[in-house]
Structure 1
Amino acid sequence: MATKFSLATLDAVKATAGVPNYGRHDLRAGIVHFGVGNFHRAHQAVYLDDLFNLGRDRDWAIIGAGVLPSDKVMRDKLEAQDFLTTVVEQDNNRTGAHVTGAMIAYLEPGDTPAIVAQLASPLIRIVSLTITEGGYFIDPASGVFDPAHPAIVEDARDPAAPKTVFGLILAGLAERRAKGIPPFTIMSCDNIPGNGEVTHAAVSGLARLSDPGFADWIDANVAFPNGMVDRITPATGAREIGIVASQYGIDDAWPVFCEEFKQWVLEDRFPQGRPALEEVGVQFVPDVAPYEHMKIRILNGGHAAIAYPAALLDIHFVHEAMEEPLIRAFLSKLEHDEIIPVIPPVPDTDLKDYYKLIETRFSNPKIGDTVARLAQDGSNRQPKFILPSTADRLRRGEDVVGLSLVSALWCRYFAGKSDSGKEIVFNDANADRLHAAAVAAKDDPMAFLALSDIFGDVAQSDLFRRRFAHALKVLWEKGTRATLQLYLDGNLGE
């Protein structure tokens, strides 16, 4: 029978899983983190747990925070088990579980006074975020902060009653400023190019709508370091909860499964101090951009590239997609022919070797990562992970046969049925208009490219338009398998 998970039962848990060598009484808060999802608990929280286990910097514990209904669900589950998490790391040749205890509290979503009070505490020196690519109010086509978004307009109209993460952050900064407390550093942990700069634009941009002087103060005094984060972390479901109960004897309401590999590259800009994360493998560098470009284009772009052909072929798991010779070969050709050649050099890194690592990670059968997870939120992910490579090649006067095929596969997916006729369940905030555009595109491919907030200037390229239209036509006429084979044979031209 599985042990009910809590601080009181850690002695029983340690028979099957590693447990912290520190007590809750050893920790003091130093970070408020917005967006306590699986990735955060498998990444930032793990690095801090490793550091605390070394006996270092135990005044940097995490207090969770959030604004979404899903945050309330997560908070309640974690509170019932004293904010502990079972992390199951799965490599091709090894599986192991350990418990992290780096989070010491989780503020009630919607309790604005409590969240602002915590943000205003002098103990809090870093505010970190994993709020997904879609949480930064970025116009997809331009890549800049959108001050006209309804949620932003509402927070600007009534800054005293913030509803967004950025509105809450501003309220905390305003209180610190009024009390003479130095501002915290704001650290994004999301997969966005220049994530620190993007976060700065959102925080300062929102402030500027109601108080330009406050925005100027933020620009002059608040640090927003850029960072690159990496760890494949699938969603948790009944399968994962059951495995933790049956194999490790732990009744964890929301464990995290992840690969063994993890990476974190950060700019060292933390005026109020930071934990010594370099002691547990974090790379501190002057410029994150080269690492970021590499990871977002090769790994995230790779995920976005294989998601839709896999879904159209009714493939459930990512490792199963990599076992399909057509998809594996498609990804390799796309990466080597079109993506890697437009990535700037990365210090001490061979990009082809990096791709080999990515290929191995995607093929890990133990992770249980799903194609559905990769396919979700494409309206935010395609403009960040795929279309920048397309735009770079077009600017250089180079062909985009493979990248246009990726966009065509995304369009074909949003028509709503796989090649076998199976209904596709969408998970995208823009699903309704994407579906309508994709259906219209069967007869008029330009109907999909007319989504100008997503495709931007790329859709104005005659070459891209021709390549996209032809690839989509072939997908409808011949199906996904035949289209991939034509691409691999070099016969997908017009």
Structure 2
Amino acid sequence: MNITSYTYDREAIRTGIVHIGVGNFHRAHQQFYINQLLADQDQQNWGICGICLLPSDQKIVERLRSQELSYSLTIFGRDGKDEGYKIGSLRELIWGVEAPGAVIEKIAEASTKIITLTITEGGYNLVKETNKFNLDDERIKQDLANPSRPTTVFGFVAEGLRKRRTNQHGGLTILSCDNLQHNGHTAKEAFLSFIQAQDQDLAQWVGTHVSFPNSMVDRITPATSPEDVERLNKLSGLEDQAPVYCEDFCQWVIEDKFIAGRPALERVGVEFTEDVTTYENMKLSLLNASHVLLSYPAFLKGYRKVDEAMRDKAIVQYIRQFMDIDITPYVPAPPNTDLDLYKQTLIERFANRSVSDQVSRLCFDGISKFPVYLMPNLAKMIQDQQDLSRIAFLFAAYRHYLKYKTDERGNTFEIAEPWLRGADEKRIASDDPIDFLSFSAFQSVPLKTVEPFVSKFTGMVNNIQEKGITAALNAILS
């Protein structure tokens, strides 16, 4: 495999972006785009300063520093053609545990125009039931009381912005790159809630000097195991301590709302728009919903890797029918998007064995996934009196997964539902399957009152119990 190295002079690059959360996805996605853009001389003030805030970040910090912050990215193509890149866009790296003052200074620097974030969904510290910022968290209370000695992302950003305001260095943009619907709104809710609780004057300044665009990101990027490091270095011929690998598909759509300027990322394939909603809807309704649709039936069939499940023709047919018949009527295509091509690409992406995900990870935390990915479109399907067979089968498979914890091959497993509570456990344990339709994840639609759904669902429950998941799935495809 040939490696394409950056051609720009790294010493000439200046940092205009501070990124918090230097994980694999960031290094395969945002860094990849910026690395391409820095080849343009008029864009060389958009290098990235990475910031790591967790004690567990020590290893990646040390490994990247040992090779002057450059690293390799291997892109595994769906067609079997692989590409390697040497990435040089990470120009600085600060570990907040080691140098908290340096984090604050970097945020306050006049040259910093954008703070980007990959801190995961849980990193925004929102209460799940209310979607409001949790001011009762102990670390948050510590940061609220000690502004000059922060430990959380909210405390660091607040203190950096406070110093920025004092130094009259102007506003900036905070851009979430996390896989959340309306992630800009989420970031604004979280940061403003913290700052309002700590410093009302600063909150007022942030209200007029900081923008929070929404964005949609997409690229499958697995975790890198020690075995992967060996495999990737053998492919590249490098001795990289921090290699990353990913799929060939890559998408980044951003609301064009930057208060202090932005890089010309449209030159390297990033899409800018006034509203990312249609792009989010497409991804949530097709990609994320299809992942859920695949997860429980595939796991119950005994599959443990996604590419393995995608070699099962029945599962592929099931997903494709779901996308084409059930969901497409409710997904308006975003500008310049071929929806049929997007769906076919999804099938190919799921089947890419070089970046295959664990089916168990797709099964994880269904309580959080059903309300976002499935329930909105299910409500529309019920209203329009659509065929509910495929969705009802999924709900029955989910119940079977939670209740029996045994797959079709006789393997037992532990379920992974961190938000499972007592009332839901009783609904799972009940011998009456209709009780399961009151599960907390389904609350947005009164499923027990929808007779067509109830009859389909109970029939699917009986089929799975009596005939097995394979036969039950085949029955809805015939």
TM-score grouping bracket, smaller chain normalisation: 0.7 to 0.9
The CA distance in 2 between the partners of 1:392 and 1:149, in whole Å, is 37
The alignment partner of 1:250 has SS state of coil
Shift of 1:434: 9.2
Q: Partner of 2:90 in structure 1?
A: 103
Structure 2 matches for 1:197-208, cutoff 5 A? 197-208=185-196
Q: Partner of 1:18 in structure 2?
A: 4
The CA distance in 1 between the partners of 2:204 and 2:104, in whole Å, is 21
The answer on 1:188 being equivalent to 2:142 is no
Shift of 1:275: 1.2
Shift of 1:83: 2.1
Q: Partner of 2:408 in structure 1?
A: 419
In structure 2, relative to structure 1, the CA distance for the partners of 1:158 and 1:288 (3 Å cut) is same
The answer on 1:94 being equivalent to 2:86 is no
1:292 partner amino acid: E
2:23 partner amino acid: G
Q: Partner of 1:267 in structure 2?
A: 255
Q: Partner of 1:137 in structure 2?
A: 125
1:368 partner amino acid: S
The CA distance in 1 between the partners of 2:422 and 2:91, in whole Å, is 41
The answer on 1:154 being equivalent to 2:160 is no
In structure 2, relative to structure 1, the CA distance for the partners of 1:151 and 1:383 (3 Å cut) is farther
The CA distance in 2 between the partners of 1:404 and 1:40, in whole Å, is 37
Q: Partner of 2:219 in structure 1?
A: 231
Q: Partner of 2:329 in structure 1?
A: 341
- Deviation by residue 1:207-261 (Cα, 9 ceiling, x = unmatched): 2334445434323331111111122222222342122222222222332221222
Maintained 8 Å contact 1:28/1:61: yes
1:117 partner amino acid: E
How many residues are aligned here?
A: 472
Structure 2 matches for 1:369-380, cutoff 5 A? 369-380=357-368
Maintained 8 Å contact 2:402/2:428: no
Residue of structure 2 aligned with 1:311, choices 295, 299, 302: 299
The alignment partner of 1:287 has SS state of coil
Structure 2 matches for 1:46-61, cutoff 5 A? 46-61=32-47
The alignment partner of 2:4 has SS state of coil
In structure 2, relative to structure 1, the CA distance for the partners of 1:465 and 1:204 (3 Å cut) is farther
The alignment partner of 1:106 has SS state of strand
Q: Partner of 1:217 in structure 2?
A: 205
The alignment partner of 1:341 has SS state of helix
Once structures 1 and 2 are overlaid, which stretch shifts more, 56-65 or 284-293? 56-65
Percent of pairs identical after alignment? 33
Shift of 1:128: 0.7
The CA distance in 1 between the partners of 2:133 and 2:464, in whole Å, is 35
The answer on 1:283 being equivalent to 2:271 is yes
Root mean square deviation of aligned Cα? 3.0
2:43 partner amino acid: D
The CA distance in 1 between the partners of 2:32 and 2:422, in whole Å, is 37
The answer on 1:177 being equivalent to 2:165 is yes
Residue of structure 1 aligned with 2:61, choices 75, 79, 85: 75
Shift of 1:94: 0.9
The alignment partner of 2:73 has SS state of strand
The CA distance in 1 between the partners of 2:204 and 2:449, in whole Å, is 42
In structure 2, relative to structure 1, the CA distance for the partners of 1:59 and 1:317 (3 Å cut) is same
The answer on 1:457 being equivalent to 2:460 is no
In structure 2, relative to structure 1, the CA distance for the partners of 1:174 and 1:347 (3 Å cut) is same
1:107 partner amino acid: I
The CA distance in 2 between the partners of 1:147 and 1:106, in whole Å, is 29
Maintained 8 Å contact 1:32/1:65: yes
Shift of 1:327: 0.9
Maintained 8 Å contact 1:62/1:105: yes
2:467 partner amino acid: K
Maintained 8 Å contact 1:16/1:249: no
Q: Partner of 2:394 in structure 1?
A: 406
In structure 2, relative to structure 1, the CA distance for the partners of 1:480 and 1:164 (3 Å cut) is farther
- Deviation by residue 1:442-483 (Cα, 9 ceiling, x = unmatched): 63546665553x444235663366655554454344332122
The alignment partner of 2:45 has SS state of coil
The CA distance in 1 between the partners of 2:239 and 2:422, in whole Å, is 40
In structure 2, relative to structure 1, the CA distance for the partners of 1:251 and 1:445 (3 Å cut) is farther
The alignment partner of 1:21 has SS state of coil
Shift of 1:370: 3.1
TM-score (norm 2): 0.88
Maintained 8 Å contact 2:375/2:444: no
In structure 2, relative to structure 1, the CA distance for the partners of 1:118 and 1:445 (3 Å cut) is farther
